[in-house]
Structure formats: structure tokens, C-alpha cells
Chain A
Amino acid sequence: KNQVEQSPQSLIILEGKNCTLQCNYTVSPFSNLRWYKQDTGRGPVSLTIMTFSENTKSNGRYTATLDADTKQSSLHITASQLSDSASYICVVSDGSNYQLIWGAGTKLIIKP
């Protein structure tokens, strides 16, 4: 069964600190993996999208990694800011029908 699991479920860190969010998936065949940021009451906004051959992709202070062999991905946030408080969702695209398989998200809270 195609699944995407994220950890931790929630995370609280102090402003300025770094953090890493995890994503494990069992989607097969694999097309691509995406990380989205969703502010409360808003639609998701894309951070990164990685295909099978990409190991790392950065978007400002966000760096995503992908290990297609172990089917794991991580999102690293550097020098966190208060505006980083949001839910971060890992989404994997099924290569057979391009359906998006959604993780439950990690709720990140940045405290001053």
C-alpha cells in the first residue's frame, strides 16, 4: 500500500535554531517527492520537488534530501524564523498514475 509517513508529528524550537523533519515512503513506482509548507488556513506552497536522481535540493534556508534506495527524505531548516511556523507536508507522486500521496505533516512551531 502506498504510504507516506512523517516524523515528528509536531516540533517546537527556538528562533534561530536548526531543525530536520523526516519523511519515509513506500510509494512504488516512484515519480517525485515534494515538500510543501502550509500556513494555518492557507493552501500549501511548494518548497522543493525532487526526482529519483536528485539527492539534495535547496530553496533558501530549506534543504531537502532524498535517498531513493531507503525511501527516505528529510527537510532541513536553517536559522529558523518565526515565519517558519507552519505545517510541513511531504508528498510523493506515484509513478504509475501521478497521484499524489500525502503525508500527515509535521507541525512546526518557532518560539522567540
Chain B
Amino acid sequence: GAVVSQHPSWVICKSGTSVKIECRSLDFQATTMFWYRQFPKQSLMLMATSNEGSKATYEQGVEKDKFLINHASLTLSTLTVTSAHPEDSSFYICSARPSLNTEAFFGQGTRLTVV
């Protein structure tokens, strides 16, 4: 199947700093990518939908100024966690689909720990 690469796979940062996570679709173009957050023993929670060339659509309760999303090209979306706090520590996963009703492919996830 198609490959979605997410980087880094884990990161530790200090409170107050910003962290950028990259999501790339390696062998297909994705006009839409999705960012999820997953807490331990819970399922994935959609944070936002990233649209190439336009602003991201955020789910209710997700702060758009804290979680900056940029979909710079058809193969790259980035999520920046700004002014990170320990409560932002979580597992972040991106997903991309060639088109809306096709298979969704997931990155390997990024474990963020804020200390």
C-alpha cells in the first residue's frame, strides 16, 4: 500500500518551546491530510483536517493558535505545537488519503514528551 512518512518518531522538548512534526505522502499526492492525537489506552481523536493551499479545519476544542498546521504541498503537511506544555504530551499521528473516499494511510506516529 501507499506510504506515509512521519518525522520525528519521538521528541522530548522543554516547556515553552515549539515542536514541528512533518507528515509526507511518499508515493501519492494528498490534497487532504489529517492530524490525530491519541492518549494512552484511547482511540485516535481527530484534531484537524489539513487542506493543501488553504487553511486547516480544526475540530471543536482544538486551539488553532497552539497547533499550527501548514499544508505546503500535495505531499507535505506539518503540525507545529507552539509553547508546548506537559499536558501536550501525547502520541500524534497523521493520515493521508489520495481522495476522500479511498483508503487512509497513516504515519508511524510521533511520541511527544514535554518536560
A: which residues have CB within 8 A of B? 31-32, 34, 36, 41-46, 49, 89, 93, 98-100, 102-105, 107
Q: Which residues of chain A are within 8 angstroms of B44 by Cβ–Cβ distance? A: 44, 89, 102
Q: Name, among B6, B91, B100, B104, the residue most crowded by chain A CB atoms within 10 Å (CB to CB).
A: B104
B43 in contact with A43 (CB, 8 Å):
no
Q: Which residues of chain A are within 8 angstroms of B41 by Cβ–Cβ distance? A: 107
B: which residues have CB within 8 A of A? 1, 4, 6, 34, 41-46, 91, 93, 95, 100-101, 103-109, 111
Number of A-B residue pairs at CB separation under 8 A? 45
Q: How far is the CB of B57 from chain A (nearest CB, A)?
A: 11
- Known A-B contacts A102-B44, A104-B42, A105-B43; the reply to A46 vs B105 at CB < 8 A is yes
A43 in contact with B106 (CB, 8 Å):
yes
Residue of A nearest to B91 (CB): A41
Q: How far is the CB of A31 from chain B (nearest CB, A)?
A: 6
- Known A-B contacts A46-B104, A98-B101; the reply to A104 vs B93 at CB < 8 A is no
Residue of B nearest to A103 (CB): B43
B1 in contact with A43 (CB, 8 Å):
no
Q: How far is the CB of A32 from chain B (nearest CB, A)?
A: 7
Residue of B nearest to A91 (CB): B104
B101 in contact with A44 (CB, 8 Å):
no
Q: Which residues of chain B are within 8 angstroms of A103 by Cβ–Cβ distance? A: 43
Q: Which 9 A-B pairs have the closest CB atoms?
A: A43-B106, A98-B100, A43-B109, A104-B43, A102-B43, A43-B108, A43-B93, A44-B106, A105-B43
